[in-house]
Each structure stands twice: as C-alpha cells, then as structure tokens.
Structure 1
Amino acid sequence: MTSLASMIEDHLSTLHERLAQAVSRPQAHRPGDRRACTDDFLVATTQHLSAVTDIVLPAVRRHLPDSRDVSREFLRAAKRLERALVIAKAKQYGQAQNIGRAWDQVWGMVHDDLDAVAVLERDLATRLSASLPQTEMQRLGDLLAATALRSPTRPHPHLPHRGVAGKVVRSVWSRADRVWDEFEGRITQPLTPREAG
C-alpha cells in the first residue's frame, strides 16, 4: 500500500522524467525515438490527470471546506495542460496548424502547465492527509494507481471532467483511445504501479 501523497509524487516524478526524455531526443536523429518518448509522456500524463480527477477530486469535495474553489482551480490547470498535450501530439504527428510552432515553445508550455498542476496536486494531497486517517490515504493511493491504468491515453480537454457524465465519457474514450492506439500502431508505456511505486 502506498499513500496518496507518495503515489502522486511518484507519478509526478515519472512524468517529469518522461518529459525530459521527450525533450532531449533530437528531431533529426532517429525520429521514431522522439515519437515513442513523446507518446509515452502524453499517455502517462493523460492517465495521471484522469485518475486524479476521478479519485482525488471527489475526496477533496467530501473533506475540504473550500472544495469547490480548489477543485475548479485544479480542473482549470488540468485542462490547460491537456490543451498543451493536444498541441504536442499534433506537432508530433505533423498537423498543419502546428508545423510553424517550435518544439522549444511547445515543450516550454507543457513544462509550465505540468509544474502548475504538480503544485496544486501536492497541495491537495497535503491538505487531505491532514484531514484523513492514514488508512484512507493509502486506499486513495492504491485507487489512484489502479485508475490510471484504465484511464484514457489521449488528452480530451473539451469533454466533461466531473460528475457521472465525466466518468462515463472518460470510460468510453478510454476504450476508444486504445482502439485508435492499436490502429495507429502507437506503442506506449502506461503509467504502471511498478513504475510509480
């Protein structure tokens, strides 16, 4: 069993490592390396954000007095990061609107948005650990890891994120994403409990 705070830290550490790998791969030398590293980062980040939305935000709503404000703040930051991930994926796969964008600009935006989300997640985990018993924090950590594995593999910033509609939509898109990954031959490494724990 891993506590929520340590699972979030492990996930965030993995995301930063994968981002560094994606950024460091040279464009001209073996382009397939960059594509694989970029896809690995995109998948892991998308799955983590979805899992935090599904597991952490409901706990925040139940246990923190300013839950509405902090949930909205997190969702705004998460959607901003998802939009940056969409741009990175579009740039990677040669979408016409993003050809003129420099990779440095794209990765800078992703890095800034990831850092903003990380600050909010750490704060939420700290505040929840002050309100909940350790056993509940461990249960939430285990749930976060399990939920990440079955979350969507592509960012969907314009779909609902909260409530029953958000859960249903993410469940449907999770399956659809895996079908598209298969069609495109997109080989990725999901954010696994072994890697995160």
Structure 2
Amino acid sequence: MTAKPEILKLTKVASSRLFHIEAMDLRFSNGTERRYERLRTGGHGAVMIVAINEHDEVLLIREYAAGLEDYVLTLPKGLIDPGEDMMTAANRELQEEVGFAARELSHVRQLTAAPNYMGHRLEVILARDLYPSSLEGDEPEPLEVVPWPMSRLAELFIHDEFSEGRAIAALCLVQQRHSPAD
C-alpha cells in the first residue's frame, strides 16, 4: 500500500457562509509535490433519509435546487446538528421535511460526493414504521411530499425531476435489501 501524501501546507483560499476553499500542498511518496484545492468540510456531517410508509412508498420531497435553478424530486436530508447523533438528526429532518417520524431507523451506508475535491460525508438512513409528527424546519417554503411506490423505482430513476446522484445511490442501496411491508 502506498503511503498517504505528506501535507506540507494548508492555505485558506476563499470562504463564504456555506463553503471554505482550501489549498493543500502535498508531497507524495515518490517525492512529487502538487497543490490541490478542496472544499473543506466542517460540521458534524449530514443525513439522507429513505422513509418507507405502510403502503410501501418512499416519501420524496419536491424542493427548489438553487444550483439548477429549478425544482427537483429528492429524498429528505439535512445536517447533523451539534449534540445530535445521525439517527436523531434523521428523525428530526424527517419531521421537518415530510411531517413524519420513524419508530425504526437503521444505518444503510456512508456516501461521499466528489471525494477528490471535498470531504463531505452523507449517512444514508432507512426509516420505517412511520407516524405523523411535525417539527418547524428551516425551509423557506413548504415542501411538497411525493409518495412513490417502491415497486416503481425503475420509473423514478429515469424521471426528469429526479437526478440527484446521492438520492439515486441511496435508493439503489435500500432497494437491494428491501422487502415489502406486509
């Protein structure tokens, strides 16, 4: 196994309310030195929730995606707040975004996105045995909840509004281990 590169220097390049860009000067085991830039990750991580109701439907949300300047279908998600564990954060986000809580929560897998450029880690959580429960969230407008039958995931995967790679990956992972509710 090749040794990890030595970090020679970290330099703050730019910062905003959401993003911190950092330059990393590295020396690889063969002596080559290179500068990389990355989005520095802070906070306590994030969760994405695959919530399946008693009708064997996954609860999607339709929300505005500023990066695409359009509304998209996706899964509920959010940051893990200080003092929360991933399960508490998942249940809170579920209540804020879809108006349900879960009696059964299980960790599916950790996902990363563009790990060459950012250290963001997302915990995929499966939520079952849902019951109505709402919390005030930080969304600027009410989110539309869209129940989608698990039996029709193939259609969802090619739906124009459903394009977020993390949500597709999360549903594929859950689909592999899913057994319909009785």
TM range (shorter): under 0.3
Higher gyration radius (CA): 2
Higher relative contact order (CA 8 A, sep 6+): 1
Q: Which structure shows the bigger proportion of residues in helix conformation?
A: 1
TM-score in terms of structure 1 length: 0.25
Q: Which structure shows the bigger proportion of residues in strand conformation?
A: 2
TM-score in terms of structure 2 length: 0.26
